[in-house]
Chains A and B, each alone.
Chain A
Amino acid sequence: MSQKSQKRALKTSYEAGPILQTYWAELHAAKNSGKPVAWASGNGPVELLYSFGILPAYPENYAAVLASKQMALEFCQMAESAGFSRDLCSYSKINLGDLLWKDKEKPEMPFGGLPLPPDILVTTRIPCLVQVKWWEVLQDWYHCPLMILDAPLVDDAPTEDQIDYIVVQLKEMIRRLEDFTHTKFDEQKFIKALALSDEAAGYWDDIMDLRASVPCPVGAREMCGNVFPLVALLGTQVPVDFYKKLRAELQSKVEMKAGMIPDEKIRLIYDNIPIWYDLGLFSYVEQFGAVFVMETYLRYVWGGRIDMTDPYRGYARKILSNVWLDMSIDTRFKTLVNDVKKHKADGVVFLSNRSCRRYSIGQYELRDMLQKELGIPSLIIEADHSDPSGYSESQTKLRMDSFLELIKRRK
């Protein structure tokens, strides 16, 4: 599988790497100097942690890093040999396999590995229940405080009661973090973190919108490398500066009508978590004049605007809104139809993700609905997002080739 780094379409994209390096260096420096480090899951209240001066590490994100470096398989096997099910989320298998590693030499871990042990564990049920169970296992191993942000399933817009439910939990988390850090909560710091988070998310939304331009200025592979600051650093200045610059560069690309590829013929939408160990699949299509212009993972999993006129409720509303994993099939369909139209897409590629069924549920129905409503063809490929065992690159490409040929002939 080709993971060779590609020439980037945007100069700013080259800054994502150093941001990642700095983030990891600061994380290890904090740990080494005795400051508390949290292990947090994506979509959690990270802004709150930053306002308490607690740096978060992300086991999920680190699992994706290992997968993208073709290192995932051994960790998955290590977790499986310890009794964890093969069907479990591969992010969790990679992390648990890393922690359970024994009896053979461990490969050199990128960025020096996750800072061990975690001092506090923070998770949420928003993306899935596996997160909670996984963090409970971690608590069992490390005996440190565990904070869980529970969330109801929300379809469309959250109700006022649902927002209340999140606000109550946030306030309880604040109280627990005061106890944990022995410091008083600084509300101004928190409000500032929320404002920074909102500003970065605003730029991100603009960036996603700019990609709807014809030709599309930047593809999926490069944007997968650019999402990290949004995942890990929301609530700090870093993503604000990075995405502001990225947006400006994209705007000028769009004005110049400079496309990701020289002769754009086919515009595609991708649904599900990227196949981290074969990101080359995103660029593979470019030789056929195709480009991925939008991904549900990049648009509806990370970021989200905050109504700063009522910060607590605004934050709660953001946490509960526009999360693809939390949407019903109907809402997913309406959203996808809008995006197909907005991005002038010719087809949708769905990854039926072996170990993320919550993301994958309803894809056959979505495919059927898109065909009926818009006459848009879809392709469903089968793979896991991070566990490469059972992945067939040639079979996947064969399906992709046929799909692109079908679209080309239809046009």
Chain B
Amino acid sequence: MLVAGIDAGSNTVKVVLLEGNQILSQRVAKAGANSLTVVNDSIAKALKDHGKQMEELVSIVATGYGRDNISFATSQATEIFCHAAGVVRSMPQVRTVIDIGGQDSKVIYLDDSGQVIDFAMNDKCAAGTGRFIEMLAMALETPLDQMGPLSIKAQGEIKISNTCTVFAESEVISYLAKGIPREEIISGVHHSIVTRILAMTRLRKMHGEICFTGGVAKNIGVVRWLEKELGRPLSIPAEPQLTGALGAAMIALERTAKSD
């Protein structure tokens, strides 16, 4: 049985095809100005690579900001439940999921059977999201994929106190003007995002094994700061960015089984 999960995020579009319980294909593409076209292209390419046809898809679950605009999706699910399902598939022992995406960050709490019991999300501003790092990478004239490796060379004593992305940018520029090394500033940027995430867990403490998902989990600098602040290691899926799409595909599978 062939199913698809699509995570149409604010920054990237992720697609996962599952055949039975096996991952057949997984893709990430930049969302750009016309994310619907990107969704269509991604799914078409994923199918074509494996000689499959659209008609063979029994169920397609969409999640992410664009989830309601994908006309060919058979149903929708929220990112909270998709991320949880994606994590539980490969790491059933995880009890807390931290997801940092392009526009949202969330902490998802699971019970012993892997069901969502609660969640916390960032307030609506970009602080504590991938967008924050992206904007500041531009100010620092550093390619996004270099932000992590550069920052782990730092002493880590610089603090970015502004949570507002625009003000943080001026703060970064003033550090640059003072001659503070770039890697130190980047480390400060990563530390800032981590403190925002931890503030979200004020009401409910993280418990059990913690998994870190979303595009930002690929940034080693953020991972190191999170581990340092939490005082324990994090579990990170092989493809953290695809967790939501994988979970959507798992939900697609589950819904097909239920309707049978």
* Interface of A toward B, CB cutoff 8 Å: 352, 364, 367-368, 371, 377, 382-383, 390, 392, 394-396, 398-399, 401-402, 405-406, 409-410
Q: Which of B78, B117, B124, B202 contacts A405 (CB 8 A)?
A: B78
What A residues does B204 contact at CB under 8 A?
371
Expressed in whole angstroms, the Cα–Cα distance for A406 and B108 within the complex equals 11
Q: Does B104 contact A (CB under 8 A)?
A: yes
The answer on a CB contact under 8 Å between A402 and B118 is: no
What B residues does A410 contact at CB under 8 A?
117
Q: Which of B78, B123, B203 contacts A382 (CB 8 A)?
A: B123
Indicate the member of B77, B78, B80, B115 with the most A CB atoms within 10 Å.
Answer: B78
Q: List 5 A-B contacts (CB under 8 A).
A: A395-B124, A399-B121, A402-B80, A402-B119, A405-B78
Q: Does B79 contact A (CB under 8 A)?
A: yes
Expressed in whole angstroms, the Cα–Cα distance for A394 and B121 within the complex equals 14
Expressed in whole angstroms, the Cα–Cα distance for A371 and B205 within the complex equals 13
Interface of B is mostly: loop
Query: Would you give the shortest CB distance from A221 to chain B, in whole angstroms?
Result: 21
The answer on a CB contact under 8 Å between A392 and B119 is: no
What B residues does A367 contact at CB under 8 A?
203
The answer on a CB contact under 8 Å between A398 and B81 is: no
Taking A367-B203, A398-B79, A402-B121 as given, write out 8 further A-B residue pairs in contact, using a Cβ cutoff of 8 Å, ordered by the A residue number.
A371-B203, A392-B124, A394-B65, A395-B124, A402-B81, A402-B119, A405-B78, A405-B80
The answer on a CB contact under 8 Å between B81 and A405 is: yes
Q: Does B116 contact A (CB under 8 A)?
A: yes
The answer on a CB contact under 8 Å between A409 and B203 is: no
Query: Would you give the shortest CB distance from B236 to chain A, in whole angstroms?
Result: 23
Task: Assess A401 versus B123: contact at CB under 8 Å? Given A367-B203, A395-B104, A409-B115.
Answer: no
The chain B residue sitting closest to A367, CB to CB, is: B203
What A residues does B103 contact at CB under 8 A?
395
What B residues does A390 contact at CB under 8 A?
124
The answer on a CB contact under 8 Å between B203 and A364 is: yes
Expressed in whole angstroms, the Cα–Cα distance for A382 and B126 within the complex equals 13
The answer on a CB contact under 8 Å between A398 and B118 is: no
What A residues does B118 contact at CB under 8 A?
371, 377, 406
Query: Would you give the shortest CB distance from B213 to chain A, in whole angstroms?
Result: 15
What B residues does A392 contact at CB under 8 A?
124
Query: Would you give the shortest CB distance from B70 to chain A, in whole angstroms?
Result: 14
Query: Would you give the shortest CB distance from B180 to chain A, in whole angstroms?
Result: 31
Expressed in whole angstroms, the Cα–Cα distance for A355 and B103 within the complex equals 24
Query: Would you give the shortest CB distance from A116 to chain B, in whole angstroms?
Result: 37
Q: Map CB proximity to A onto B100-116 as digits: 1 under 8 Å, 0 otherwise.
A: 00011000000000011
The answer on a CB contact under 8 Å between B115 and A398 is: no
Expressed in whole angstroms, the Cα–Cα distance for A131 and B109 within the complex equals 42
The answer on a CB contact under 8 Å between A406 and B124 is: no
The answer on a CB contact under 8 Å between B78 and A402 is: yes
Task: Assess A402 versus B79: contact at CB under 8 Å? Given A367-B203, A368-B203.
Answer: yes
What B residues does A368 contact at CB under 8 A?
203
Expressed in whole angstroms, the Cα–Cα distance for A364 and B124 within the complex equals 16
The answer on a CB contact under 8 Å between B104 and A406 is: no
What B residues does A395 contact at CB under 8 A?
103-104, 124
Q: Which of A352, A383, A396, A409 contacts B116 (CB 8 A)?
A: A409
